[in-house]
Chains A and B, each alone.
Chain A
């Protein structure tokens, strides 16, 4: 019925993360302490004040994912740790009609879940935010046999958004 819905990346997508850590299991999201600030190794500092990612930036990220869906631009956006990443991208190429598009009908709600700081190879500090966003989406394509198809669904995207820390 809704045979392509599972091809929307449900679990995790990634925008702008340049130094992704594979993460099959949870790691310690450190709580800032006086001791940790002075003793923490570089690149693992905890944030002392969480700064929610702006709604406009999150909406922009979701729209970029939708625009990239079913195009080669999607793969670089997906986290290396996304479960079954290569099966998703292979399936998009082999199972989805070439004219299929993903339309964002509405962005429903969002929440900055956690943040941490990390250092880039050049020494610049980055703020990495894990953001949950719920969006109502619709896959649209033309089936030569059955006509226009629209498959809607509500999906939760987990975004990792990396920004300079200042």
Chain B
């Protein structure tokens, strides 16, 4: 039956893929010329299988579970300060895991206009948006709209932000009910200086009754005021912040002794909340500290807030950073839950945390955390003391090994009559070895965990060895892990449990397409004869689609084409040598212009010539030719340290600035991913793309960082008749080593 459902819906999914593809092709050249479009489509075919006890395995649903998900991001820059963004995320679903609904499910839709060059700068959003005033008033995702006005600061320099939100909190667009859980809110934020800000917030919420859950209609209004100020007091850099808020209206009701909600008790109530915090850092020594107070009435239950009602808390935190970067932090916390319930639970916690170089002489780094906790309930049903120590240390070893040690010790003293104390001890040992075999790089990680819980009827001894590895050799990525777990209870009446878990993932990346296989097997055996064997196989194909924004730019004129004029030693050279021109004639012009002697390398002649003066990196001019005609001319810039993302980003910025200064606004720009610590791997896996183009009378000038077959990283500026799509990143001159 389920297979038939998928078969029935599969044409819809194919239609969607085809539509996306046609959308890309048709619109890329026409209506959406000035929009940058990025996104991806993933088709995932999954199969789940389980044998034995169906409740004793990880997968609730078996059989084929398939879906096709897509995300589409559009951006248009009307001016440097006027932009429109649209985001669309959805799925064609035939999987019980992926979404609660089957068929086409639009999940996130957002349209945003941000305009900073008008009379009053504004940002307006429609669709899915995140409404955030404060933790105590409103922080939640809404389907609706919001508008923010940020008037230009007047003579006083005060900045204002007026934010209006309206929308409903619903998981997806298929079941949006405008009448349920609807929030309207207004927030006025004033920043009198970078150190001082105040805000007032007002939130109204309506939630509809639900006979199935036994809830009533609930309408509530929450109002709050916040303040924050930072100042220097002697050698102390201090910050004080606080919020006062009140609620009038309805909430879900109190919990009865049977832990069920009593709806009538939440009608027509009023409550308040207060928060205050002072924090500081010393400017004369590495000390920081924080004192915090919160109190929320039993009836302060804002529908959009994240705080816990009926609670008072007082906290003190202090930290010291040593000269070697090691930090020592201490905390003392008192929580009073069920504050107005008549049966409060009081929790006192005292803790120390040491992070950084733990034993410098031994090369041990990591953290050691110790805390003591005391929990007492007024009616004495809870009276417990907990002592906890958690250490996690690592140390490098020769031959590219890194060792990790984790140690957890926990003592629970239960002082309630009849209860038993428990002791828990866990030791975890792991090692990671970096691999580099025949062009495959990765890591290999064996480890073992031992755990002993003693003192009560659930006392067990557990052990769990594990093994994992990753291997990558562009475009292949392979990772696998295997873990075994044995839980052996002390009590003879309890069964011993053994679990085996195996996972293998493989990915193949070919530019805009990624194909992958994920397989996992889970085997759980209980000595009393129960077992569960579960398997998951997932095949996926992700296709990224992208289109740069096309500005209407007049083509750059080719200067002095094919004449005897002296060639310039600047970026202008790239326009002076025209693709399609006679190569021997160009080679003679290079020589006559006093350029260094060219070095032929196959179909490319290379000149050690700088074209951007204020760049210290090595620059070479390369002229590629085919059948006696120039096919491409390029400026190739080496990077001093491709593994230094800051260096890469700065060099690219300088080249881009030189191009913008010389040739003006590009006709198209495509940028994806970020230049980060894994830049080289990201570029070679096509996760980072940098490309700008300027049209010329004979083709295009392109600036970017192409992917190269030899894995080297270079910035290139090329002039050629045509190029492939931005994501087809193998456009560099590979003959140049």
Least Cβ–Cβ distance between B67 and chain A, in angstroms: 8
Contact call B108/A103, Cβ cutoff below 8 A: no
Contacts of A103 in B (CB 8 A): 58
Contacts of B446 in A (CB 8 A): none
Q: Residue B535 at the A interface, CB < 8 A?
A: no
Contact call B135/A22, Cβ cutoff below 8 A: no
Q: Give Cα A105 to B369, complex, Å.
A: 32
Q: A31-B121, A124-B646 are in contact. Are A49 and B97 (CB under 8 A)?
A: no
0/1 interface trace, chain B 390-431, chain A, CB 8 Å (1 if under): 101000000000000010101010000000000010100000
Q: Residue B99 at the A interface, CB < 8 A?
A: yes
Contact call A144/B458, Cβ cutoff below 8 A: yes
Least Cβ–Cβ distance between B37 and chain A, in angstroms: 11
Contacts of B674 in A (CB 8 A): 127, 163-166
Contacts of B526 in A (CB 8 A): 147
Q: A98-B462, A136-B97 are in contact. Are A148 and B532 (CB under 8 A)?
A: yes
Q: A48-B81, A72-B390, A93-B390 are in contact. Are A132 and B485 (CB under 8 A)?
A: no
Contacts of B121 in A (CB 8 A): 31, 33
Contact call A31/B494, Cβ cutoff below 8 A: no
What's the count of A-B pairs with C-beta under 8 Å? 207
Contact call B81/A24, Cβ cutoff below 8 A: no
Contacts of B451 in A (CB 8 A): 98-99
Q: Give Cα A28 to B153, complex, Å.
A: 13
Contacts of A114 in B (CB 8 A): 130
Q: Closest chain B residue to A152 by CB distance?
A: B60
Q: Residue A119 at the B interface, CB < 8 A?
A: no
Contact call B228/A33, Cβ cutoff below 8 A: no
Q: Give Cα A25 to B77, complex, Å.
A: 30
Contact call A109/B107, Cβ cutoff below 8 A: yes
Least Cβ–Cβ distance between B331 and chain A, in angstroms: 7
Contact call A26/B646, Cβ cutoff below 8 A: no
Contact call B57/A83, Cβ cutoff below 8 A: no
0/1 interface trace, chain A 111-141, chain B, CB 8 Å (1 if under): 1111000000010100100101010101010
Q: Give Cα A136 to B81, complex, Å.
A: 38
0/1 interface trace, chain B 474-510, chain A, CB 8 Å (1 if under): 0000000000010101010010010100000000000
Q: Residue B626 at the A interface, CB < 8 A?
A: no
Contact call A140/B75, Cβ cutoff below 8 A: no
Contact call A164/B99, Cβ cutoff below 8 A: no
Q: Residue A32 at the B interface, CB < 8 A?
A: yes
Q: Give Cα A32 to B460, complex, Å.
A: 59
Contact call A130/B130, Cβ cutoff below 8 A: yes
* B83-91, B568-576, B720-728 - interface stretch: B83-91
- Residue among A25, A29, A148, A158 having the largest count of chain B Cβ atoms under 10 Å: A25
Least Cβ–Cβ distance between A77 and chain B, in angstroms: 14
Q: A83-B306, A110-B89, A136-B97 are in contact. Are A99 and B199 (CB under 8 A)?
A: no
Contacts of A87 in B (CB 8 A): 335
A-B contact pairs, 6 of them (CB 8 A): A10-B306, A26-B189, A31-B123, A93-B408, A98-B426, A111-B87
Residues of A within 8 A of B (CB): 10-11, 22, 24-36, 41, 44, 46, 48-52, 54-56, 72, 83-84, 86-87, 90, 93-94, 98-99, 103, 105-106, 108-114, 122, 124, 127, 130, 132, 134, 136, 138, 140, 142, 144-145, 147-148, 150, 152, 154, 156, 158, 163-166
Residues of B within 8 A of A (CB): 38, 40, 55-58, 60, 71, 73, 75, 77, 80-81, 83, 85, 87, 89-91, 95, 97-99, 107-108, 110, 112, 114-117, 121-123, 128-130, 132-135, 139, 141, 148, 150, 152, 159, 161, 163, 171-172, 187, 189, 191, 194, 197, 199, 226, 228, 241, 243, 275, 277, 279, 306-308, 331, 333, 335, 349, 351, 367, 369, 371, 373, 386, 388, 390, 392, 406, 408, 410, 412, 424, 426, 451, 453, 457-458, 460, 462, 464, 485, 487, 489, 491, 494, 497, 499, 524, 526, 530, 532, 645-646, 649, 652-653, 671-676, 687
